[in-house]
Structure formats: C-alpha cells, structure tokens
C-alpha cells in the first residue's frame, strides 16, 4: 500500500489519524532544524513536517516520497487559508524515498511554475516535467472532462460510437495524405485518413443512423504554428435529418462542453448567412465579441473624384478613438496592409475639431467629406480605414483590419465566447480562387467544392447547381467562435445521380470518381438514406476552453515545427533492413 | 422533418396518432391488392399498410421510404406477439421514396439474414449492407455500450483520458512497425505505435497518476485469421500502486463490461500462478470452463520399462468416455499431434471390461498398468493421452489436447465465462526459446523479457534478477478468459539503475538503449513514481461478448487476409508524384 489518502484530500476532520501519502517534493523550507515540505500529488498539496534532520537532509525538489505520520492541526497563526489543506500538516514518523531526482532543467513547483517562462523546445523535450506544472496538468484533465461531457450527451441521444479504420485509402479532403507502405502488398500503400468522411457515410448506408467518434485524423501539411500533423476531431453523422437536427444537437454539445469550465452558453446560438458574414465582417469566421461592422461605401462613392475609390467595391471600418494615433502608428498600418498583400490602407481621421485628416481626405469631394462621418458611423476622434478594389479581397483586408483594431483596443476578451453559425455558403467556388488562397482544387474543373464533394445543395438548388454552379448554395453549416472555425458540416448527397453531377461540375471524370470513390457510389445504389453530419476540431475547442495561445498547450505530446518531436526525436531514419522489409522499393518483375 | 417517431417505438398507446416514419423496406407481402411492408430503422420494425396499388407497385426491398399515416390497431387475429410493435400497423396516407435500391448482392432482411450464409469476401466488399443485418448491427452497438461502461467506471475512479501520439517512434514491443515517411524530414520516418507503452509511462513521470485511453495500435504482422493490422486496446496506467490495485480496478471493469450482455461476473476472479497454469493446463491461458487437468506422471513412471516414457517429463490427460472412440478417430489424434510438431500422442484405453487397450498399454509394467486408472483419475470407458519428453513441449501438447478434448465433448460453452488471473510469470526466458516459438527477442542477450523490457521484477527478485535471470519472477499479471488472453500488465520499473540492469540481461547495449529509449531513461532521472498498468485487447473482449468466431465480426470495417480491404481496395499504388513528395527516395547530398 503506497498511500492511504491523496495529499489534497486532507482536512481538519483527519486530525489525529495516521495516514500515508505518496508524492513529490514540491518545495521545502527549513526553520530551526525542522523541514517543511510541500508534498504534491495529482490531487493537490499537503505540508509535511520532518523533525529528524538526518531524514530531511537529502530531500530535494521532485524527490518522490512515501510519508507516514499523524495529521495534526497547524500551530496557531500558521494556517494557510489559500490551500485546501491549509489547516493541517502531517507530522512525519516514517519517510521513504521512492525515487530521487536530478536537478531539473526547469522548475515545476506549483509555487514558481506559473511565473517562470520556459522555452518551448525545453518544455517539449522534457514534456514529462512540463506536465507536472498546474496549467499543463489541468489542460489534460480538461480535455478528458470535455470528452466525457460530449459522450454523456451523445449516449443519452442514443448515438453509437464506432471506430473507423486508419490504415485506409486516400480521402479527398484536399490536403496531402500521410502514406504507409504495405509490406504484404509490396508497391501498395495505405493512407492515414484526413477524416472519417467516407466511412461515416458508409455507416449511414449501413443503417447505423446515429454515429459518433472522437477520431484521430492526419494531414501532411506544411506545419504552421497552430497545425499538427495529427489532430482529433469529434465526428458525427446522422440519418433522416436535416440541417436543423444537426445544429440542435451540436448546440447541446457546445453547451455541455463550455459547462465544464463553468460557462453557461445561451441557446439557440445566433446564425448568419455566409453572404452577411462576408459583407459585415469580411470573413466566414467572424469574431463577434465586438461590433465594428464593415460599411459598404461603394454606392456612397459611386461618383467619387478619387481614382482609388472608383472600384468594384469600396468599404470602410471604423477604429474608435483612432484619430489620435501618431503618424508612426498610421504608417505601421500601411506596413501591416502590405504584409497582407494589399497596396496600403487608405484612412480618414475625424479630428476632434471637426476637420478631416489623413492623405485620402483631400481627394474626396466636398459632399463626400461632409456626409462621411454619418455614413460610416464615425464620431469625432475616430479613424476610418478604407479598402477599395475587387470585392472579395477588399472585404478580406477590412475584415482583418477589423480584428486588428479589436486586438489593439482590447476587445478580444478571452473570457467571452461569441458563437455563431454561418450557413448558406456557396456550394462551389472557382477552382482558380481556391488555388490562389492556398487550398487544393479537387478535380480538374473550373469549379471546386467550398466544403467538399459530398456536400449536398440546398434543396432549392437541387435542379440547377450544375447549370449555374456560381449561384448554388450548399446545405452546409459552420460553427464559429471568437473568430475561429470550431467545425462544420453539411447535409450530404445520398443519391448516386446527384453525386455524379457534382463530380462533373468539379471536373472529376467518371474514371477518377470510380477509382477514388467507386465504393461510395456503389453504396448509393442500395438504398442510401438522407444523412448529414458535422465535425468539430477538438484541439481548437480545447484551446478556447483553456484560453491558451497555442494548440500545442492542449495536446499531451505535441510536435514542434516541421512535425518533429523533441521528446522522442521522431521521425527518425530507418535501417536498410526495415526499408527492404517494408517493400518500399519493390519493383514488379517483368511478366514476359 | 423526416420522421416524428422511430419505427420500433410504436405501441398501442400511439393508436389514432398521425406519425411519420423513415426507414428501409425490410420485406413486403401482398394480400388482396394491399401491400404490407415491414419498415425497418435502427430501432426496429413497424408494419406499414399501403392500400394504393400504384404507390405500392415500385417498392422493393431496401428502398428508403418516408411514410406518413395513422397508427392503427391490427385487425383481430393479425397481431404479432413476437414483434414489439406487433399490436399496431401504420395505415399509409403518404409515401415518399427517399431513395431506391438496386437488387442486393445478398439479402439483409431481418427475417432472412440470420439463416443465410454469405461469403466473407462479399460481406466485406458490401460491408455497408452487411451492417444492416441484425447480428452485425448489434455487434457495433455492443462495442459502443462496452466503451461507455468502461468510461463510466474509470471516470468515477477519477482517471484522465489522454491521447498519445500515433506518428511517433518505434516502440520495442517485439513486432514489426508500420512506417510513415516524413515529407518534411526527408529520409526520416515515423512509426505507428504498437502500444502507447512509453508514452503512458511518461505520463506517470508527468504526474498524471491515473491514465486511460482506448487506443488504436498497429502491428505489421503476418495476418492470421484472428489478427488485424490495426486493433484497439484499453490502456491503463496508475502511479503509486501495486499489483493488487491494478487487479482490483480491472476486475471492476470486467464486471461492468460483462454486465452489458447481462452476465454477472462474481468477484474476486480466481488467480493462478504461471507455474500452476503450465503444470495443470499446459498453457499460460488456460480454458477453465472445464476440468481435465494434466496429471504429472513423471514420478509414476520413474522406473518404467517403456522407453518412450523414460523422459524428463511424462504427463497425462483424461478424455472421459474416450475409450469408445473408433480406431479411425484414435489415428486422427496422431495426425492432430503431428500437425503440432509432435511425434504422436500415446494413449491408453480403459475398456469397460477393466482391460487396458491401445498400443502403449502393453509396454507398461504390470504395476504401472494396475495403478494407472487411479493415478490419472480415469474411469472405465475413458481414454488417457500421454506426452513424454521435454517438459515445456510435452505440457504444451497435452494442454492443446485438453482443449481439443473439451471441444469434442462440447465443454466449450460460449455462454459460460471462466476468468482467471495468471500471475508470477518468469521475468525472462531464453532468447532461443522466444525465437523458437515465433516471438522476437529484443536485444542480443541470452535472455529476453517474457512480458517486455519495462516490466519490473517482483520485489523479492529486485537484487538477484540479473545474477540469476532464470529464477526471477516478473511483477506481472495476465487476465485470461475461456482459454484466450484478454490482456495483461505489470508493475513497471521506475528506476534508471534497475532499467539498465534489465537491458543488460537482455543484451541491449547502452548505446542501443540510449538510441531507442534514451528519453525514458532520462525521464527516470527526475523523480519517476512507482507505477504500473494493464492493457486489454478490446477486439478480443468484444469477440467473447458477442460469442463470435472471428475478430472481424466485431470491427466496423475489418481487413481481410494480408491486410486488404475489399471495400475500399486499400492498400493501393501511389503516384510517382506522391512518392517523390513523400521523400521516400531522398538521398542526402554529399557534403564535400
């Protein structure tokens, strides 16, 4: 028996009992020949008093001790009201060192850790020490609690948790697959799934009706700070449902997840069309913790003498109090815009004295100047930024400016959670646009799917989506929180003829479709039910719940840049024998 | 709204209500111009009555329908007491065909499916149809229920569910790794984990104390009928525990899992030492649904004139009633033994008239013949099989004969579950023995670990395990059910010096240890707590719970032989571009 109690559970009611604790030396203080040790385990901390100097002498931070003794009341005035165990202390009768600790590369004591800044490389290399720090430990625990909350909701709704294969075929999600050579079929490879998309649809064809999985997914992308090669997604699919059913379920899940951090999310969540999101926020994942909506000033400037504003679109966003920014800051905004590929960011300052400042002002007509403040909703002391040009790019620039304004003005409160559904996105976008924005266009057509190739059209576009792809809206919905996309889903196509028409729009040939998704098209022949679902990025959700800057803070053993693990040094070279055995270099023999 | 009720939920209390159901045509019967359709959804079946011939005409099996109508009492004498919905029927007012179905490759109707035998290749290729059959659907659902039962127990015990990486480094479990080329580190590869062993130990060093995961694991083995390249394991690790703690927890999990099929498992489960298991059952995973223990007859035959029995070990197993086996069957036993690599299986028949039969009998001394029945516990009419030779091989042969006897005599009742812990296994075995029995010997030493290199010695062998490896017992425990191993675990090594001594016994050099497990040895330097755990093969558990012959019956999308998936045709060739991009053929440039 290594312990009778957990350290954090001791209270005044235990006074007089003999107990055994096991844990780590969080810190020690010495006072008149007596050692006071904060003994830490997963439950918390208890103070251990060791009066025997010889016993106490060798004990250093992070030694692992087993201590037996009597729980006693702390002497008058020595109670610590900040500690749940602060009324008591354990008078050690027997101390056993279960393990020693070498000096640490960085401190983990609960007393120090939060204030100490440790380089990320060291934290990842010694992740097992990093995880002893309270914030890191509680992030792991929170993920476990959130998963429990999810499962409680879904089991109550009679969902079946199903595991889908991870040694499988390429799924057409538009990113690169991780590949695994198949030793027993030399020359053939498995792909790790980018999502369980096809399998969950097959489960619907199989009559499962309500499926979920907390699924590991894999994308071989160029790792940015907030991407990991493997990630976890809550994956849900339901049969005989429409958009309303999926949204209602997901809202109850969001409520349950946020309840784990004591936040009560009011339902139903707001909804916004994709068109509105782009027009008002310049983004399909608007941050709704603050206003500052974009103002479409195209009509306002329709007869403008200012050449720059003679454009397809002119829009504005107000920065409250921005007129007092020093010239240097206004110049910095220009650099900011140029870094995003724009030529600059035109602005007008509404000075406190009623005059207009900034280089753009003098290019405007008198009437334009006179009505501007009212039109864009600016007050004296504000600054208004403008973007003019192609609608999509200009809105994107203003949307980014809006968030940057929010950041600078302290509007991005991490304790506030502003959710919204974004619905009615276009079904297709020009393939060239997708490629230009860094996505992969699946298929060789002029159009590619905004969501993915299995997303159905809204019912009213069922007949026309292929003759007029640019107008068709998808039966899809994204859930957004504080400017980031938590997840999204759609009502899927369940008819072979509709699926084939979508492939045609995307320029996916019959041959290619058959090769890549033939088994799904086959499945649609045999009574596939109407179905739809959603997927939620759990790493992103946990990042919101823990209010941390990086997704790596919520993953037990994250990779650093380029997919390298400083802890295990994975990936690593393989031996020639492994390579030969894996069949990587297999050459089929000529069949003469 | 695609349905107001699920089909299986309708009862007499719904009579008179207008409801909408959606589901599949399970079967149809026609009677006097009226179509009676069994409409099936995940919840069950309801009878739909369609009086309109034109509507009913095109409907065939597995068409997907949405039916609105009034729930009515079935006419006198037409109620079906075998069906939960058997009192009612739905009189269709509106029928919408949501999807059609081509003729099926095999029937899935609940009425037919159980009796129809379908080839496995077809079942896997059309797995989405196979899953509509009741046994298959309920196996998926049972797995979900079992996972819920597991999590309910572990959350109540304050365990944290943690996800460990699957793109990682080779783990030394003794099987071949699946490998994944790392595009961003050309020439380097990830390995898919054979188990989360090292990560769960690191979590203990990280202070998690109670960890679990239902983890996907990967072993690139030559697939036998009951192996899959990916499999699922319940993985548990705890700090500050001894064997008793882990066993107690696992017993409560087994009780909870078996409760999902209505079986009450009495606790505590029996325990047996490894030595006893080998002596009495010739196996470290004895089937305890029946007796027929092996009898050690070595001493009995110590002065035997029979040359064959002048051996290191002579053992016997009784086949009740086996004396009446025809000669052909007794010959078949010889073939059976030869297939297992033995020279044959000596036997003695105890004829009903008191005489002894079989070729071995006449080689025995008179005294041996006279006392034999009593010594081995045989009665008139029984047959006794003997094995003589090296102890290990002879016991293994008798153990297998014992199970074969059990099978032939109908003792292997799938509704009975006989559990046992097998404890006190040897810590090491000669590496040559491991290789001879098809395992991989990790390390280059004369000894290899029976469990794995991280298993601790029982405390009493802590000082001597490296000077006398053949005598040391491991602090390990396996859980066995009906002759198969459900899982196993151990109290781990938590001290660097002990771990290094184990590596030394196994002939793992400092350099190799450092290269492969350096990070674990490092972690042991910084206050690693005593810890231990267990892993349970969930596919095997589900196979017991569903009482099916094959592990493939309990996996949503299993692979067939050689790791091929007849549904998606994975694995598949990759393109030259994919190959180039993955960096498979990267050659480091000469650095001149």
Ramachandran angles phi, psi of A112, nearest 5°: -110, -30
| Rounded Cα–Cα distance for residues B137 and B158 (Å) | 32
Query: Which of A161, A207, A524 lies at the smallest CB-CB distance from B132?
Result: A207
Query: Which of A147, A495, A584 lies at the smallest CB-CB distance from B99?
Result: A495
Cα separations (Å) of B325 from A569, B358, B361, B408? 63, 11, 16, 11
Interchain pair B567, A63: CB under 8 A:
no
Contacts with A, B 18-47, CB within 8 Å: 22-24, 40-42
pLDDT category at B107 given cuts 50, 70, 90 is confident
Cα separations (Å) of A286 from A397, A412, B118, B212? 13, 12, 53, 37
| Residue A184, pLDDT above cutoff 60 | yes
Contact B282, B405 (CB under 8 A): no
Interchain pair B571, A64: CB under 8 A:
no
pLDDT value at position A592?
46
Average pLDDT over residues A51-62: 96
> How many secondary structure helices (H) and strands (E) does chain B include?
15, 23
| Rounded Cα–Cα distance for residues B442 and B175 (Å) | 10
- Å between B131 CA and nearest CA of chain A: 5
Contacts with B, A 106-125, CB within 8 Å: none
Query: Which of B164, B184, B522 lies at the smallest CB-CB distance from A563?
Result: B184
Q: Sketch out chain B's domains with CATH numbers.
A: 12-99 (2.40.50.140), 122-268+529-585 (3.30.930.10), 290-412 (3.30.1360.30), 426-473+495-528 (no CATH)
pLDDT category at B405 given cuts 50, 70, 90 is very high
Interchain pair B143, A130: CB under 8 A:
no
Flag whether residue A271 sits within 8 Å of chain B, measured between CB atoms.
no
Contacts with A, B 183-212, CB within 8 Å: 183-185, 187-192, 198-199, 202-203, 205-210
- Å between B52 CA and nearest CA of chain A: 22
Give me the torsion for CA of A330, A333, A337, A338, rounded to 10°: 70
Contact B26, B47 (CB under 8 A): no
Give me the torsion for CA of B427, B432, B437, B441, rounded to 10°: 60
| Residue B295, pLDDT above cutoff 80 | yes
Dump pLDDT digits (tens) for A59-114.
Answer: 999 999 999 999 999 999 999 999 999 999 999 999 999 999 999 999 888 776 55
Contacts with B, A 64-103, CB within 8 Å: 64, 98-102
Which residues of B are less than 8 Å from A566 in CB distance? none
Flag whether residue A58 sits within 8 Å of chain B, measured between CB atoms.
no
Residue A221 sits at the vertex; the CA angle it makes with A217 and A222, to the nearest 5 degrees, is: 145
At a CB cut-off of 8 Å and minimum separation 6, what does A218 contact? A166, A177, A178, A192, A193, A194, A229, A230, A231, B167
Average pLDDT over residues B195-223: 94
Q: Is the peptide bond before A422 cis (omega within 30 degrees of 0)?
A: no
Interface probe with A: pick from B572, B580, B582, B585, most Cβ of A within 10 Å: B572
Beta A313-319 vs A346-350: how paired, if at all? unpaired
pLDDT category at A224 given cuts 50, 70, 90 is low
pLDDT value at position B516?
83
Q: For residue A104, what is the DSSP state?
A: P
pLDDT value at position B391?
96
Contacts with B, A 506-525, CB within 8 Å: 519, 522-525
| Rounded Cα–Cα distance for residues A363 and A347 (Å) | 11
SS3 of residue A298 by DSSP: coil
pLDDT value at position B545?
98
Interface probe with A: pick from B526, B538, B561, most Cβ of A within 10 Å: B526
pLDDT value at position A403?
98
Ramachandran angles phi, psi of A494, nearest 5°: -125, 5
Ramachandran angles phi, psi of B216, nearest 5°: -80, 130
Average pLDDT over residues B45-49: 97
Query: Is B224 annotated in some ligand binding site?
Result: no
Beta B88-99 vs B44-50: how paired, if at all? parallel
Contacts with B, A 342-401, CB within 8 Å: none
Please provide the average confidence, as pLDDT, over all residues in chain B. Answer: 94
Average pLDDT over residues B298-304: 96
Contacts with A, B 482-511, CB within 8 Å: 494-495
Contact A67, A95 (CB under 8 A): yes
Contact B531, B231 (CB under 8 A): no
Cα separations (Å) of B89 from A44, B18, B77? 61, 12, 13
Dump pLDDT digits (tens) for B558-592.
Answer: 999 889 999 999 999 888 888 888 888 887 765 54
* Count of Cβ atoms closer than 10 Å to residue A158 Cβ: 13
Length of chain A: 592
Query: Is B537 annotated in some ligand binding site?
Result: yes
Average pLDDT over residues A183-203: 94
Contact B453, B490 (CB under 8 A): no
Beta B179-181 vs B230-239: how paired, if at all? unpaired
Average pLDDT over residues B457-479: 96
pLDDT value at position A322?
96
Residue B6 sits at the vertex; the CA angle it makes with B5 and B10, to the nearest 5 degrees, is: 80
Q: Which residue of A has its CA nearest to B152?
A: A148
- Å between B6 CA and nearest CA of chain A: 10
Contact A364, A304 (CB under 8 A): yes
pLDDT value at position B592?
46
Q: For residue A415, what is the DSSP state?
A: T
Q: Which residue of B has its CA nearest to A567?
A: B519
pLDDT value at position A114?
56
What are the helix (H) ranges across B52-116?
A: 53-56
pLDDT category at A442 given cuts 50, 70, 90 is confident
Interface probe with B: pick from A161, A571, A581, most Cβ of B within 10 Å: A571
- Å between A561 CA and nearest CA of chain B: 10
Take residue A80 and report the two structure tokens written for it. Answer: 């610590």
Which residues of A are less than 8 Å from B523 in CB distance? 128
Which residues of A are less than 8 Å from B571 in CB distance? 167, 169, 180, 182, 185, 188-190
Ramachandran angles phi, psi of A511, nearest 5°: -65, -45
| Rounded Cα–Cα distance for residues A576 and B511 (Å) | 19
Beta carbon pairs, A and B, within 8 Å: 324
Contact B525, B239 (CB under 8 A): no
Ramachandran angles phi, psi of A521, nearest 5°: -60, -40
- Å between A420 CA and nearest CA of chain B: 23
Distance of CA A411 to the CA centre of its chain: 20
Take residue B224 and report the two structure tokens written for it. Answer: 């036998």
- Å between A203 CA and nearest CA of chain B: 6
* Count of Cβ atoms closer than 10 Å to residue B91 Cβ: 15
| Rounded Cα–Cα distance for residues B461 and B214 (Å) | 33
From the number of C-beta atoms within 10 Å of its C-beta (0-12, 13-18, 19+), residue A431 rates as: buried
- Å between B200 CA and nearest CA of chain A: 10
pLDDT value at position B223?
63
Bin B11: left if φ > 0, else alpha if -120 < ψ < 50, else beta.
beta
Contact A110, A103 (CB under 8 A): no
Q: Which residue of A has its CA nearest to B573?
A: A188
Interchain pair A189, B572: CB under 8 A:
yes
pLDDT value at position A436?
75
Take residue A78 and report the two structure tokens written for it. Answer: 């020595």
Q: For residue B101, what is the DSSP state?
A: B
At a CB cut-off of 8 Å and minimum separation 6, what does A469 contact? A427, A428, A447, A505
Give the global pTM.
Answer: 0.95
pLDDT value at position A582?
87
Q: For residue A487, what is the DSSP state?
A: E
Residue numbers in the known binding site of A are 173, 219-221, 228, 451, 485, 492, 537-540
């Amino acid at each position: 028996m290594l312990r009778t109690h957990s350290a954090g559970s001791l209270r005044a009611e235990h006074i007089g009992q003999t107990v055994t604790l096991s844990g780590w030396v969080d810190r020690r203080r010495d006072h008149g020949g007596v050692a006071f040790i904060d003994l830490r385990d997963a439950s918390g901390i208890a103070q251990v008093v060791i009066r025997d100097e010889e016993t106490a002498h060798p004990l250093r931070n992070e030694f692992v001790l087993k201590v037996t003794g009597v729980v006693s009341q702390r002497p008058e005035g020595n109670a610590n009201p900040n500690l749940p165990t602060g009324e008591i202390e354990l008078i050690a009768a027997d101390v056993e060192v279960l393990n020693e600790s070498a000096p640490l590369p960085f401190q983990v004591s609960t007393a120090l850790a939060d204030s100490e800044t440790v380089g990320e490389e060291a934290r990842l290399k010694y992740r097992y020490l990093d995880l002893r720090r309270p914030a890191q430990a509680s992030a792991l625990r929170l993920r476990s609690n959130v998963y429990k909350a999810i499962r409680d909701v879904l089991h109550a709704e009679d969902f079946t948790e199903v595991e889908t294969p991870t040694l499988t075929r390429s799924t057409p999600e538009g990113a690169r697959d991780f590949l695994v050579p198949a030793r027993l079929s030399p020359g053939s490879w498995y792909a790790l799934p980018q999502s369980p998309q096809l399998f969950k649809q097959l489960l619907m064809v199989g009559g499962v009706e309500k499926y979920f999985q907390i699924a590991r997914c894999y994308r071989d992308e160029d790792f940015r700070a907030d991407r990991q090669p493997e990630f976890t997604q809550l994956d849900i699919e339901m049969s005989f449902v429409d958009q309303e059913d999926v949204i209602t379920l997901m809202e109850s899940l969001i409520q349950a997840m946020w309840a784990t951090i004591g936040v009560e999310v009011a339902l139903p969540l707001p909804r916004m069309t994709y068109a509105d999101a782009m027009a008002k926020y310049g983004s399909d994942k608007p941050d709704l913790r603050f206003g500052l909506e974009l103002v479409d000033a195209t009509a306002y400037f329709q007869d403008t003498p200012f050449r720059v504003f003679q454009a397809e679109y002119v829009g504005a966003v107000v920065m409250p109090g921005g007129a007092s920014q020093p010239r240097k800051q206004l110049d910095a905004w220009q650099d900011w815009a140029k870094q995003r590929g724009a030529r600059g960011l035109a602005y007008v300052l509404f000075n406190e004295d009623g005059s207009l400042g900034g280089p753009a002002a003098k290019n405007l007509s008198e009437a334009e100047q006179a009505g501007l403040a009212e039109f864009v909703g600016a007050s004296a002391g504000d600054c208004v930024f403008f973007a003019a040009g192609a609608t999509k790019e200009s809105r994107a620039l203003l949307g980014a400016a809006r968030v940057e304004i929010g950041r600078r003005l302290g509007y991005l409160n991490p304790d506030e959670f502003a959710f919204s559904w974004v619905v009615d996105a276009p079904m297709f976008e020009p393939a060239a646009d997708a490629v230009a924005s860094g996505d992969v266009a699946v298929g060789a057509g002029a159009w590619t799917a905004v969501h993915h190739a299995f997303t159905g059209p809204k019912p009213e576009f069922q007949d026309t989506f292929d003759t007029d792809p640019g107008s068709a809206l998808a039966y899809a919905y994204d859930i957004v929180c504080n400017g980031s996309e938590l997840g999204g889903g759609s009502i899927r196509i369940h008819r072979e003829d509709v699926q084939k028409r979508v492939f045609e729009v995307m320029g996916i040939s019959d041959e290619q479709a058959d090769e890549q998704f033939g088994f799904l098209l086959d499945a649609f022949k045999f009574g596939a039910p109407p179905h739809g679902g959603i997927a939620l990025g759990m790493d992103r959700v946990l990042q919101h719940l823990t209010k941390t800057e990086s997704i790596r803070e919520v993953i037990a053993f994250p990779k650093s840049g380029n997919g390298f693990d400083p802890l295990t040094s994975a990936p690593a070279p393989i031996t020639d024998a492994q390579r030969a055995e894996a069949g990587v270099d297999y050459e089929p023999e000529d069949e003469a």
